[in-house]
Amino acid sequence: MTKNTICLWFNHNAEEAAQFYAATFPDSRVGAVHRAPADFPGGKQGDALVVEFTVAGIPCIGLNGGPAFPHTVAFSFQIATDDQAETDGYWNAIVGNGGRESECGWCQDKWGLSWQITPRALTEAMAKGGDIAKRHAGLLPDDANGRARAVAWTFAALDTVEPPIWDFAIAKIIDGDKVWFKERRSILEVRVSARLGELSNRLGDADWLGGAFNAGDLLMVTVLRRFNGSNLLDEYPNLSAFVARGETRPAFKRAFDAQLAVFTGRPPGG
């Protein structure tokens, strides 16, 4: 056994889960399976008690402890992918094997473990945006209060406003042709509208969310641009104007060019 190992609690199905992970992800395998030597309360001789396995190079132990402690999204595996085919392959394997889609582009497998199947290009694009914020004065203000506001709105954009928008966008792509999508769409639109209404009320008549334009505004504009080509922002003219203002900012153009460069392989402005 390695020195550092993740211990995961399962409801008597750790061996099944470990076999699935070994068959799905590279650098994954099932190791030793420790079985009950005799019948015991809640189980019988030969039942798997502890399963040693590796997921994408990460050593784990599956403890068959029963239903007392189910998995939650507080823990997740993040798998970095190099292209869309690899992303779709892992996603479809998890969801198609009794799993389900979750919020913010995550999914859960049939045993309740959460997975972030994350394209490297997306991570690199986010890093590019952070570098731009650090290099350009004002996007992350020097004063403590200004920086705190910028950081708070950055988290609000990514953790509060984006998840329902992302779910809506993914559902249109994956389930848009399903007969039941119309009903699901209405549910998703209610969630999106709730977030947009809160954001619209917070912005009010101001030009920017935190006073002067900062990194939080930059990311919020990026998130809201997902609605380009739809009518979901029509009810919120102040948010539509906010996005239009943001798109004219030099900082936004630099960030957009940097993100685009990750996907095209050409340097910004090239």
Residues in the chain: 270
pLDDT above 60 for 238: yes
CA 188, 102, 75 angle in degrees (round to 5)?
145
Region 140-156: what's the mean pLDDT? 78
- CATH numbers and ranges of domains, the chain: 6-118 (3.10.180.10), 136-262 (1.20.1050.10)
pTM of the model: 0.55
CA atoms within 13 A on the CB side of 114: 13
Q: For 190-232, what is each residue's pLDDT tens digit?
A: 888 999 999 999 999 999 987 888 888 888 998 898 887 678 8
Q: For 2-55, what is each residue's pLDDT tens digit?
A: 678 999 999 999 999 999 999 999 999 999 999 999 998 888 999 999 999 999
> What is the rounded CA–CA span in Å between residue 174 and residue 101?
11
